[in-house]
Amino acid sequence: MWNLGSNPNAKRMAEVVKFYNKLPKGPAPAPAKPTNPIARYRAAFFDGDNASGKPFIHLAIVIVIFGYSLEYQHLKAHH
């Protein structure tokens, strides 16, 4: 029922303080470096301060190379 011995808000606050005392202190550890090629590409061109438009240029180059490789046999037959 009623807790007449102490203020219930003080007990709740003590629980909050106990919780926060258990949390790690200091700066967060540095994130691990990516190991696979896609994650490294993402870290290099998409994440953080490194974000740029270079992936669009890379995509355009890949599309041109892929399109040429599809048409190569067709173009070879006409020469």
Q: What is the pLDDT along the chain (79 residues), one digit of tens a residue?
A: 455 556 778 888 889 999 999 999 999 888 888 999 999 999 999 988 888 999 999 999 999 999 999 888 877 776 6
Shortest CA distance to 34 belongs to which of 48, 24, 53, 20? 48
Tokens of 70: 């599809």
Phi, psi angle pair for 2, to nearest 5°:
-90, 130
Query: The whole model's pTM is what?
Result: 0.52
- DSSP designation for 46: T
Q: Are 46 and 55 in contact (CB under 8 A)?
A: yes
